[in-house]
Amino acid sequence: MMRSTMRRTSLLIAAVVTTLVVGTGCGADATPNTPDEAAGGGTLVVGYDNEPVTLDPHLSVLNRTLLNLFFDSLVRQERDGEIVGALAESWKDNGDSIEFVLRDGVKFSDGTPVNADAVAFSLDRVLDPETASPKSSFLSSIDDVVVVDDSTVRLDLNRADPLLLTYLAHEHGAIVSPTAVEKYGDDFGRHPVGSGPWIFDSWTSGVELKIEKNPEYWGGQSGELPLLDGVRFRFITDPNVLKAELQTGGVDIVRLLPPTVVAELQSDPQLAFDDIGLRRSYYASFNVTGGPFADADLRAAAAHAINKESIASAAAGDLYELAPSFATANDWFYSDDLGQPSFDPTQAEASLAESSSSERDVEIVVRRRDPDPLIAELLQSQLNAVGFTARIEALEAAAYLERLKAHDFDIAIGVIDVPRLDPTLTFNPYFSSTGANNWSGLADEELDKLLTTAGQTTTQEERAAAYVEVQRHIVEQNYWSFLYQPVNLLVHAADVEDIDLDVDGEWRLERTHFADVE
């Protein structure tokens, strides 16, 4: 069952007049339009809770908002899902190949040209096994990248791939400066160079990332974009500190805040709150490679022990929805009929008794960031109530991610932002046996086949049915428990305007500006 909170959300934000314009700001291609009479200049300060490990778009598994600052792709996906030209002025799909014609005169921020050689270098880099890019599987339909001439590149395909342009529109297809990659080597992720609207200035770990406008940005007209002079991303993980910084003007906008903190800010007339359709999907991932949850009965016991409503209410107040998977209620592949386990302590105890495994000790790994430890504590109590012995280890971001990659946990509490660009990007990274974020260590041939079928099906109706089967299999096997989806309001100073959004809500800041208040 899903708890709908949209009426409650509307009531909460009704008292604040929102100046944010959510849109694409683009016409027939991805060239942004300048807001009429927009006030330029100044530095936007962002409270950002998710410091990246790397800004190399071919290696990063997070932070596309940050990657959007520096890098462009051949094409771009608009808010409504339409694919439009970016670095490519035009393209032609020949069935077994796609040929792109590049814009004239575009340069990377280091002054080197964005040409067919640079495109080939970038895509070959993703596909090269030595790069170990988590994006490579999404471009696996590319058999060869052919430089036709200085401004034309052709992708020869080994199969039809209806989703290739979607992947190319994002970090999978980000075009990087070959000169910068060769110059910085393994440190390129600390010195990103692309053709995007912003230029890297400095990165002080644990403190901030500073960027400056790219005065030669191809997407502007006569150099007027970006409108801001620069942006500072202050890395702040404590939501109470973010709250104080918003109230005192120390930051102008935050990536996210827990709903309980948002509620405390509602009466501040200097702030605006926008429900832009984004949700955060909290989950509990069960490690199936060993330990207690290699056993299906123990996974079932844990799934029935979890009171999702109780966890959601404690962590998010009234601003949440319950859903049986990553899909949001507005997604075209959503279903609330997946056979999801109910909260049933008696059934949990029965599943424990049926298990042939004697393991009951459970290590819960969680990131040290609110409300994640609270979720872990509630989960610990619920598991212990039915016969498990759970303990918690809270870790900083880098250590937490390493534990997940190594499958060194029994349960991992995590969260992803939804919706995403396509369900392949929602499910494949986490549930394919070769997925970059396959935290559970799944090697389920049946699930892999379901994912492949869903990804290769062409019509949306058929794809929706296929992805329902994917979700049903995940839920029936209790690989993960999908806990709840808090409503992710965008909170910002009332004088910050025109933050454009990708289809999945990641920011683009080239048109962002401060209101010209007399």
Residue 8, exposed/middle/buried by CB under 10 A (0-12, 13-18, 19+)? Answer: middle
| Partners of 389 in beta bridges | 361
In this structure, what token pair is assigned to residue 284?
Answer: 């509990």
pLDDT of 34: 59
Q: Is the pLDDT of residue 375 over 70?
A: yes
Tell me which residue range forms the domain holding 109. Answer: 64-184
pLDDT of 221: 61
Inside any domain, residue 355: no
Among residues 130, 155, 184, which one ends one of the domains?
A: 184
What CA–CA distances, in Å, run from 413 to 328, 402, 499? Answer: 19, 14, 30
Q: Which residue has the tokens 């600052």?
A: 69
pLDDT grade for 290, boundaries at 50, 70 and 90: very high
How many domains does one find in the chain?
Answer: 2
Mark 15-37 as b/e (b = at least 16 C-beta within 10 Å). ebebebebebbbeebbbbebbee
Q: Which residue has the tokens 């971001």?
A: 397
Do 104 and 247 lie in one domain? The reply is no
| CA angle in degrees (0–180, nearest 5) for 415-420-424 | 100
Which residues 6+ apart lie within 8 Å of 260 measured at CB?
A: 315, 316, 317, 371
Query: 3-class SS at 252?
Result: coil
φ/ψ (deg, to 5) at 251: -135, 155
Which residues 6+ apart lie within 8 Å of 94 measured at CB?
A: none
Report the CATH number at residue 139: 3.90.76.10
> Considering the entire predicted model, what is its pTM?
0.71
Do 91 and 162 lie in one domain? The reply is yes
Report the CATH number at residue 43: 3.40.190.10
DSSP structural state of residue 249 = T
Do 121 and 264 lie in one domain? The reply is no
Do 194 and 167 lie in one domain? The reply is no
Do 176 and 78 lie in one domain? The reply is yes
Do 120 and 164 lie in one domain? The reply is yes
pLDDT of 18: 35
Among residues 139, 166, 184, which one ends one of the domains?
A: 184
Q: Which of the pair, 259 or 185, is modelled with greater confidence?
A: 185
Inside any domain, residue 264: yes
Do 45 and 75 lie in one domain? The reply is no
Spatial distance between the Cα atoms of 230 and 19, rounded to a whole number of angstroms:
21
Least confident of 5-9, 97-101, 177-181, 438-442: 5-9
pLDDT of 17: 32
In this structure, what token pair is assigned to residue 477?
Answer: 């096997």
Q: Quote the mean pLDDT of the chain.
A: 90
pLDDT tens, position by position, 186-212? 999 999 999 999 999 999 999 999 999
Among residues 145, 163, 184, which one ends one of the domains?
A: 184
pLDDT grade for 2, boundaries at 50, 70 and 90: very low
Do 74 and 44 lie in one domain? The reply is no
Do 149 and 179 lie in one domain? The reply is yes
Query: 3-class SS at 382?
Result: helix
Do 180 and 128 lie in one domain? The reply is yes
Do 102 and 87 lie in one domain? The reply is yes
pLDDT grade for 223, boundaries at 50, 70 and 90: low
